[in-house]
Amino acid sequence: MSVASPEETRSAPTLSAVAKLAGVSSITVSRVVRMPELVAPETRSRVEAAMRELGYVPNQLAVALARARTRSIGVLVPTIANSIFADTVQGLSDELEPLGYAVILAQSRYDAAREDHMLSVLLSRRPEAIIMVGSPATEEGARLLRRAGIPVAETWDLPATPIDAVAGFNNYEAGVAVARHFIEQGRKSLAFIGGDDPRATRRWNGFNDTAQALGAKAPRRLVLDRNASGSVAALAELPGVDAVFAANDAHAIGFMSGLRKAGFLRNGPAAEQPVALIGLGDLEMGRLIAPSLSTIRVNGEAIGRTAARLILARGGPRHIDLGFELVIRDSG
């Protein structure tokens, strides 16, 4: 039962509030929290009682300022919703939370200006490291990160000139693998659908280069609006195409639904598919639907975990290629 005193300002109790109640100095309370074995058992339990009574929770801001260690890491993703990046955030946060790190999350929404802004917002909280999907879109962003003097992990790609650590896979080669597969299958008219962010563009480049090198006619590229994945439209704009590489599984499944509505889809083995379709990401959904979705499998969670380990690691390799795997199911 607590009696409301006039000056009770309803703000979190401090070290010295606890100290006062326990009749010790604040440093003793601090020691009870951090190095209890240095405090006499009798004093310790008095302090612990006071902490419990007041509901004391240490102020990590003050701790961070005093020790110059914030125990937080900044995470920048294009978007957290509807997306393969959620797995990456889950992975890195599973790795980091047990170590006492807080995850500060920011979204760039695929916008370079917003990315720079969020980068400096993150940096202003003095995270001990930054993990981002992709690489800074602008030189300004890269400079910010370099000046910060903290570990930086770029993920989901293998940048040519990384800032620091890298945990990703070769998006260009993913495009190569898909094109090669289509050509080996005897497909003639290829197309690529997806966004135009840097990673999707790399996939396109690998796809396009390879298709042409192997003698197919120039593939078409259709840039989809980020929300329009239920793209019946895509089909309308791709007459005569017999093989499609979608930059991610969500686009692929949207396109598949367009195919179905247009009556182009029959269940069964790939050979019977009038339009072959391969996605990227290996969403669980892709395995469950019919026809099941062929895809470039990428382990988003492992990317997150690896990035987390890299920014914590003192030495060792700084660049890890997690690879990908072409998984052929019914759709292509």
24-32, 198-206, 215-223, 303-311 -> range binding DNA (CB under 7 A) = 24-32
Residues 159-218 that bind a second copy (CB under 8 A): none
Q: Would you give the end-to-end CA distance of the chain in angstroms?
A: 69
Residue 12 corresponds to which tokens in the numbers above?
């979190």
Interface with a second copy in residues 229-268 (CB under 8 A): 229-230, 250, 253-254, 256-257, 260
Q: How many residues bind DNA (CB under 7 A)?
A: 29
Q: Residue 293 CA to chain centroid, in angstroms? A: 23
What residues from 104 to 123 belong to the interface with a second copy (CB under 8 A)?
104-107, 118, 120-123
What is the DSSP track for 97-135? GGGTPEEEEEE-TT-HHHHHHHHHHHHTT--SEEEEEB-
- Contact status: 299 vs a second copy (CB under 8 A): no
Q: Please say whether the beta carbons of 245 and 294 come within 8 A.
A: no
Among 15, 89, 118, 183, binds DNA (CB under 7 A): 15
Nearest distance from residue 217's CB to a second copy, in Å? 29
Residue 38 binding DNA, by CB under 7 A:
yes
**Among 195, 181, 198, which residue's Cα sits nearest to residue 270?**
181
Q: Residue 185 binds what, of DNA, a second copy, none (CB under 5 to 8 Å, by partner type)?
A: none
Does 10 help bind DNA (rule: CB under 7 A)?
Answer: no
User: What's the min distance (Å) between Cβ of 76 and a second copy?
Assistant: 12
Measured between alpha carbons, how far is 191 from 208 in angstroms, rounded to an integer? Answer: 9
Token representation of residue 83: 């997306």
The answer to whether 218 touches 189, Cβ cutoff 8 Å, is no
Q: Does 144 bind DNA (CB under 7 A)?
A: no
> From the CB of 62, what's the least distance to a second copy, in Å?
6
In the block, tokens 């202003």 appear at: 124
Q: Is 39 in the site for DNA (CB under 7 A)?
A: yes
